[in-house]
Structure formats: C-alpha cells, structure tokens
Amino acid sequence: MRPIEKPLVWLHGEVKSPPFSKEARLEAGYLLRRLQQGALLGRPYARPVPLIGPRCYELRIDDAGVTWRLVYRVDPDALIIAEVFCKKTARTRLSWSLGANADSGAMTMHESKRKRLEAKGWRVGTAADFLSLSTEEAAYVELKLRLADRLRKRRQQRSLTQHGLARLVGSSQSRVAKMEAGDPSVTLDLLIRALLVLGVSNRELATIIAPGRRAAAS
C-alpha cells in the first residue's frame, strides 16, 4: 500500500531554497521526499528543535564546506518548511503559523485549506518545486527511494538483520543502514547489487526501475 504523502508548504517569497550544488540538491530532495512519506529521520540527517516549537526539526545538508539547515514542522496533513539558513547561531522561536482549523488533524490536506493557504501567500507543492529539481533529478530521487525501500522490505522478508545482509554483501551494518536510508554516499549500483544478492529477479528489478511497465523477461 502506497503511503499517504504530505505536501510541502512554505511561505512564498520568504522561504527560499538555498543555492545548493547538484549533489546537495539531490540529497535534500531525497530526504524531503522521505519526510513527505512519513519517515522519522534521526541523526545525522535531522534533529528535533523543541525550542522553536512542537513537532519542529532541523534538517542538515552539508554542501561544499557549508552546512545548510532547513527548519520544518511535521503536521498531520503537511510538511511545513519554516526557514532555511546556514548560520551557526542559536535560533529563536519562529512566529509563524498556518492557523488552526477544523481539518488540521486530517491525514490529507483538504482542497479548501490549500486554497486558503495559497491566498495568504503560502506555497503548497512538492520537493521538486521547492528545490527546483529538473525532471531528470526528480526521477533520480524517486528511483533511489524505490530501491532503498525495496531493499529494506526484501531484507525483512528474508528475516535478515542489517548485520546479516552486511555479511552477504561483504560490507558493514552501518553501510547497510545507510543503504536503506538512501545516504548520499550510497550509489545506485550498490543498491542494485544488494537487491540482486537478496534474490531480486531481473523482472522485479525492472518493475522497480520503471513502475507501471511490464518487464520483457526475467
């Protein structure tokens, strides 16, 4: 069953994506997509920042010697990007709110709420919109998401621990954890090799790479 994905919400004209390199843009895109799908990211990718507000976190993206920080809040029906900065000073409580309403506890955002937000200057969109990802970059992020997700599920189906999979692929548990998290240091080649080690057929791999299309042959 496909997870319910939260839309990204940010204050248009005030909260802007930083001038990431291509590598950092892909990393940020992948992590934001995981958050949209309901993942709870921990260190080293994100950390809670309760001083800013409830359900607030800080996503960290290292890029050419600069650590960018994306402050976001997790709501039941949205992932709100509150601020993006690269300063090292402590942050104060942010004075922003989407406003309480009857549908604030819903799992999906109602169209009426979307229209109200957009009328007040909030942008409701996707990670690709926020980061200005090209079609190819967005496709790469989605492919990595599917490969990492299938790797985790196949490992669990085989009743293997991360240590067990590490032994099969000749790696370490920490490396397997990074593979399942889609860490930027993990290549598509490594993900595919691990899936093949777990017995994924050519036909199944083809459906992961091109969902919705029938594979020619296993």
As a whole number, mean pLDDT of residues 90-109 equals: 50
Nearest Cα neighbor of 69 from 53, 55, 57, 80 is: 57
Is residue 18 assigned to a domain? yes
- Model pLDDT, residue 87: 66
Using the 3D structure, point to which of 63, 96, 131 is the last residue of a domain: 131
- Across the beta sheet with 66-75, the strand order is 46-48, 56-63, 66-75, 78-85, 8-11, 122-125
Mark whether 91 and 126 lie in a shared domain.
yes
Using the 3D structure, point to which of 84, 104, 131 is the last residue of a domain: 131
Mark whether 142 and 126 lie in a shared domain.
no
Say which residue, 158 or 108, is predicted with more confidence: 158
Using the 3D structure, point to which of 115, 131, 147 is the last residue of a domain: 131
- Model pLDDT, residue 93: 45
- Model pLDDT, residue 138: 94
- Model pLDDT, residue 36: 92
For the stretch 167-205, pLDDT in tens is: 999 999 999 999 998 888 888 999 999 999 999 999 999
Is residue 125 assigned to a domain? yes
Give SS3 for 10: strand
Q: 70 is in which domain, residue-wise?
A: 8-131
Q: Tokens for 49, please give them.
A: 């920042």
As a whole number, mean pLDDT of residues 119-134 equals: 92
Mark whether 116 and 164 lie in a shared domain.
no
Q: Tokens for 167, please give them.
A: 């032994």
Is residue 214 assigned to a domain? no
For the stretch 16-51, pLDDT in tens is: 888 889 989 999 999 999 999 888 888 888 999 988
- Model pLDDT, residue 106: 55
- Model pLDDT, residue 109: 74
Mark whether 105 and 195 lie in a shared domain.
no
Terminal Cα-to-Cα distance of the chain (whole angstroms): 24
Mark whether 18 and 106 lie in a shared domain.
yes
Is the pLDDT assigned to residue 103 strictly greater than 70? no
- Model pLDDT, residue 51: 86
Mark whether 121 and 169 lie in a shared domain.
no
For the stretch 44-92, pLDDT in tens is: 889 999 888 888 999 999 888 888 999 999 988 899 998 898 865 445 4
Mark whether 83 and 148 lie in a shared domain.
no
Chain centre distance of CA 52: 21
CATH number, domain containing residue 164: 1.10.260.40
- Model pLDDT, residue 91: 52
Mark whether 153 and 190 lie in a shared domain.
yes
- Model pLDDT, residue 3: 58
- Model pLDDT, residue 107: 57
- Cα separation, 218 vs 152, whole angstroms: 22
- Model pLDDT, residue 95: 47
pLDDT band (50, 70, 90) for residue 216: very low
Give SS3 for 27: helix
Mark whether 53 and 121 lie in a shared domain.
yes
Q: Which DSSP string corresponds to 31-96? A: HHHHHHTT----TTTEEE-TTT-TTEEEEEEEETTEEEEEEEEEETTEEEEEEEE---SPPPPP--
Chain centre distance of CA 190: 19
Is residue 217 assigned to a domain? no
Mark whether 21 and 59 lie in a shared domain.
yes
Mark whether 90 and 16 lie in a shared domain.
yes
- Cα separation, 157 vs 143, whole angstroms: 21
Q: Which DSSP string corresponds to 165-199? A: HHHHHTS-HHHHHHHHHT-TT--HHHHHHHHHHTT
Q: How many domains does the chain contain in total?
A: 2
Mark whether 90 and 139 lie in a shared domain.
no
Element housing 30 (H / E): helix 22-36
- Its pTM stands at 0.81
Is residue 2 assigned to a domain? no
Residue listed under structure tokens 């843009």: 25
Residue 59 · residue 48 · CB < 8 Å: no
